[in-house]
Structure formats: C-alpha cells, structure tokens
C-alpha cells in the first residue's frame, strides 16, 4: 500500500481501488454489489477529505463522528447501517493487509435498521384517487365503492371483498368486519362514504344480477376477487397520477396497493387528532402486544372519533 504521507485524496483513491479489486477478484462479488459498496464508501471518503484526513487517520472517535454526520444529514438507519458495513469491510481489508493496526469500527455498535415506514397518501392524493372512478356505469360505480370502502374503514382488501351486505349497517353508520382469525370488529363509516356506497348498492349493483351476498361483485355478479381489487386500485392510481413505478414489477418503484389506503386511513385519523387506541380498534390489530397495551373503546367513542377526525367524515 502507498506511503502514509501520500496526498489524502490520492491515498483514498488508491486504497479504494485496491479494496474493490480484492472484492472482485478474490471474493468474486458482482458489479452491482461493488457499486453499492463504492457508493457507501464514497460517503466516508467525502467526509474525510472535507477534513483533509488520510484513511490511516480514521480512528474510533472519527468513525463515530462520521456516522453521526450521516444521521444529522437525514439518512435513515438502513442507509447508515450500509455505510457502516462498507466501512467495516474496507478497514477489515486494510487490517488484514497490515496497513492499519486496528479496526476503528471494532467497538462501534451496529445501528438498528428497524422497519421501514409504510408509504401513505396525502389527504389530497387520497381524495383525488377516490374521485377518479365515475358513477355513470355499474362497474365504475363498483370501483368507486371499493376505493371508498378501503379508505373510509381501513379494511384489508381481503376483508373488503369478503364483506357481506348483512354486515353493512348504513343507518347506524357502521360496518361489521370479519378480520383475521375469525375476529370481528365494528368500524364507523362517515356520511360521504355511506352515501356513495348506498348509491352503488341500490342503483348500480342490481344491474349486475348479483348471485352472491357480497357487497362488491364483478361483471358476472359473483364476488369480487382479491386480485381484481388490486387491479382496480392499480388502474385508478395510474389515472390519478399516483403510480410511479415502471410497470415491470421490479423493486424500486412506488406502487399504490390496498395496504397504502389502510396506512393512509390510520395516519389521516391520527393527523386529525384521533386517539391511537381508537385507531388500533378500527384497524383490528390482534397481536398479543396490541391487545395487552391498548384498552377497548366502545363503539360510540369510535363513532365520535371517526366523525371528527376522518377526512371523509370530518365535521365541517
């Protein structure tokens, strides 16, 4: 390896090239993996050169300062964890080559990546999506009813397509949802959503000659499938300009899927001032942790919170 009195910029360039050659030739890593490592190490190189530091000057306190700078710059735990991993790999290589006497990351804890935050729509985006289906034809009205139901109640798509008419109680402003594990919950529905769903049920649904008791049916009058519900949402998300993946199905694109509406339902309620316990009740969370921590709220309380906080039911 080059002398330690080499210009820091040249020293970093030379050391990184040697390291990447090692990764490619001796460890056989792919070009894509090498590019990822290179991007992550570029952050450390840029930080060090901004302080005129040779790679040999990176010690535990400086690597800690570097990782802290990433957090200050707004990088998430996963990005910081990647930068740390690449740095550890680089200094591990230098240690094995005898170019450094210690690994500056040996005592540096690995940051927890945590779970990524779910994607949500803004209230404006959600309302634009709901406005996309027209009500001038039965299937268009059905599409609107599906989107309305998902956003108004936070249902899972499987719960929405499995919803029976007997579980729909517009007079009371409620819907009875059969959730996971056979557990049932009651969810309030706002006036705007009730009116739209009632138009679908009484004006358009009969023209499809329904052969089942499900609220949502397909063009043959049978129950709408989960796959069809995904396709309907995908279609209208594209029309509303909310879908920005490349339609190839590859990772990296941002797709609007039914759970995005469920997350948006919960987030918009919380933004509107809803109590977290009420949102838990309406979502039907059933994990042991959830059921032990969050107390039960009666339906009158849930109805009041929904009417006050949900964008489709919020008191004007």
Q: Are 151 and 133 in contact (CB under 8 A)?
A: no
Range with the lowest mean pLDDT among 158-167, 185-194, 302-311?
Answer: 302-311
Mean pLDDT of the 180-207 span:
91
Say if residue 295's pLDDT is above 50. no
Say whether both 188 and 65 belong to one domain: no
Number of domains in the chain: 2
Decide: 102 and 95 in contact? Cβ < 8 Å.
Answer: yes
Q: How far apart are CA 10 and CA 32, in angstroms?
A: 24
Query: For residue 185, what are the β-bridge partners?
Result: 177
Mean pLDDT of 275-296: 57
Residue 305 pLDDT > 90 = no
Q: What are the Cα distances from residue 163, in Å, to 6, 83, 157?
A: 71, 47, 10
The token duo for 233 is 């949402």
Using DSSP's 3-state secondary structure scheme, residue 175 falls into strand
- CATH number, domain containing residue 31: 1.10.150.130
What burial letters (b/e) apply to 10-24, b meaning 16+ CB within 10 Å?
ebbeebbebbbebbe
More confident residue, 114 or 31: 31
In terms of DSSP bridges, do strands 174-178 and 184-188 run parallel, antiparallel, or are they unpaired? antiparallel
Is residue 109 a part of any domain in this protein? no
The whole-model pTM stands at: 0.58
Q: State how far the Cα of 125 lies from the Cα of 214, in Å rounded to an integer.
A: 28
**Are 161 and 291 part of one and the same domain?**
yes
**Percent of the chain whose predicted confidence (pLDDT) is above 70:** 82
Choose the final residue of a domain: 79, 97, 115: 97
- The pLDDT confidence band at residue 292, using thresholds 50, 70 and 90, is very low
Burial of 296 from C-beta contacts in 10 A (0-12 / 13-18 / 19+): exposed
CATH number at residue 276: 1.10.443.10
Instruction: Judge whether residue 250 has pLDDT over 50.
Output: no
Q: Which residues are tagged catalytic?
A: 156, 180, 259, 262, 285, 294
Residue span of the structural domain in which 146 resides: 123-246+253-309
| CB neighbour class for 48 (10 Å; exposed up to 12, middle 13-18, buried from 19) | buried
Residue 316 is predicted with a pLDDT of: 41
Q: What is the pLDDT of residue 5?
A: 60
Same domain (yes/no): 61, 127: no
């Amino acid at each position: 390896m080059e002398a330690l009195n080499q210009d820091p910029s040249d020293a970093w360039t030379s050391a990184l090239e040697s390291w990447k050659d090692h990764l490619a030739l001796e460890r056989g890593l792919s070009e894509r993996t090498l590019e990822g490592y290179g991007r992550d190490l570029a952050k450390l190189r840029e930080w060090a050169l901004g302080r005129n530091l040779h790679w040999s000057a990176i010690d535990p306190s400086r690597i800690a300062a570097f990782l802290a700078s990433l957090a200050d710059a707004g990088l998430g735990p996963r990005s910081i964890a990647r930068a740390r991993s690449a740095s550890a790999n680089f200094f591990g290589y230098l240690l094995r080559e005898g170019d450094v006497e210690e690994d500056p990351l040996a005592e540096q804890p690995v940051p927890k990546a945590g779970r990524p935050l779910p994607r949500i729509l803004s209230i404006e985006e959600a309302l634009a999506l709901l406005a996309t289906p027209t009500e001038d034809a039965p299937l268009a009205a059905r599409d609107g009813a599906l989107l309305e139901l998902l956003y108004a109640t936070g249902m899972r798509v499987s719960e929405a397509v499995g919803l029976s008419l007997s579980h729909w109680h517009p007079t009371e402003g409620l819907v009875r949802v059969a959730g996971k594990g056979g557990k049932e919950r009651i969810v309030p529905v706002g006036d705007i959503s009730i009116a739209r769903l009632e138009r679908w049920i009484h004006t358009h649904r009969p023209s499809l000659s329904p052969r089942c008791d499900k609220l949502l049916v397909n063009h043959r009058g049978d129950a709408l499938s989960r796959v069809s519900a995904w396709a309907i949402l995908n279609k209208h998300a594209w029309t509303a300009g909310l879908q920005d993946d490349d339609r190839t199905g590859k990772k990296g694109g941002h797709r609007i899927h039914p759970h995005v509406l469920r997350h948006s339902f919960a987030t918009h309620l919380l933004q509107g001032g809803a109590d977290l316990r009420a949102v838990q009740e309406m979502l039907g969370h059933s994990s042991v942790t959830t059921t032990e921590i969050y107390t039960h709220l009666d339906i009158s309380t849930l109805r009041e919170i929904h009417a006050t906080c949900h964008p489709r039911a919020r008191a004007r």
